[in-house]
Amino acid sequence: MMRGAGRTLVSAVVATVALAGCSSSSGSGGTGADTGKNGDTAPSKAAGSAAAEKGVTLGGAGSACELPVTFDLAADWKPAAVEVEPGSDLAALGEQGPVTMVCEVDAKPAGNIGYLRVWQGKPSDDAPRAVLEAFVTADPNAGKATYTDFRAGSLAGTEVGYTVDGELLDEPKAERAFAVTTPDGPVVVHLGGLDSQEHREMLPAYELARKTLKPV
C-alpha cells in the first residue's frame, strides 16, 4: 500500500476521532428505510446537494496520500496520510473489516466537523459490494444500510448510506461510504460527521470525490 508524505500515526487519528465524535466508520448489512431527520440512508439522495468547489486532486504520485485511485477534494479540505502501526494497541481502530485506514481528509479548515477517510485492502477477487458489506458490518453500532451500485468512468463501485447509533449520541447519525476494487486492492472512501446535520453539509465534498474517481 502506498502512502505519501504528511503521515499521521493511528494514535493521532484516534484522538481526533474522540474529539469530533464522528469515527464509527461503517454500518451493518441489511437494507433499511429512509430515516428522516436522523439521517437519510439512501445514497442517491446525496446527489441533490449543491456542488462543491474543487480543491486539490488526491491519490496521484506526489499527493498527500498515494492511492490506486485519484479523486478531487473540495476546496480547503486538508489531507494527510495515516500510518497504522501493526501490532500496536490502537491498530484495531485503524482497521475495519478487510481494509486499513491510509488517509484522512479534514473538513475543519472548510468549516465543518468531520473527515473523509480512505481505507485500502489487499488484492482479492471480492466485488466492491462484498468489500463494502464487510466494512459496514464490522461496526456493531451501525444499521439501516442501503446499497447502490454506480460507475465512475471505467470503475464499477458500490455505495452505502446508513446510520450509526451509540451511547454518546443523542440520535442516530447518517454516514456514507463507497468502495471500488483495483489491482492493488479495494479502496473504501467514507464520510462521517459530528452529527447528521454536519454530514449533510459535507455531502457535496463526498459527491465530488465519488464523481471524479479515476484509476491511477
Q: What is the pLDDT of residues 41-86, one digit of tens each?
A: 555 444 445 889 999 999 999 999 999 999 999 999 999 999 998 7
Beta strands in the chain (DSSP E): 8-9, 54-58, 69-74, 78-83, 95-96, 99-106, 115-121, 142-152, 155-164, 173-180, 187-191, 214-215
Residue 135 has pLDDT above 50, yes or no: yes
**What confidence score (pLDDT) does residue 136 get?**
95
Given CA atoms 138, 166, 202, 83 in this order, what sign does their dihedral have? negative
In this structure, the strands spanning 115-121 and 99-106 are antiparallel
Please give the CATH architecture assigned to the domain spanning 8-215: 3-Layer(aba) Sandwich (3.40)
Domains of the chain, residue spans: 8-215
Angle (nearest 5°) at CA 156 between 98 and 66? 60
Q: Which three cell numbers stand for residue 82?
A: 495515516
* DSSP assignment of 12-62: HHHHHHHHHT-------SSB----GGG----GGGGGGSPPPPEEEEEBSTT
Per residue in 88-126, pLDDT (tens digit) is: 777 878 999 999 999 999 999 999 999 999 999 999 999
Alpha-carbon distance 157 to 141, whole Å? 24
pTM: 0.81
Angle (nearest 5°) at CA 170 between 107 and 119? 40
**What confidence score (pLDDT) does residue 92 get?**
79
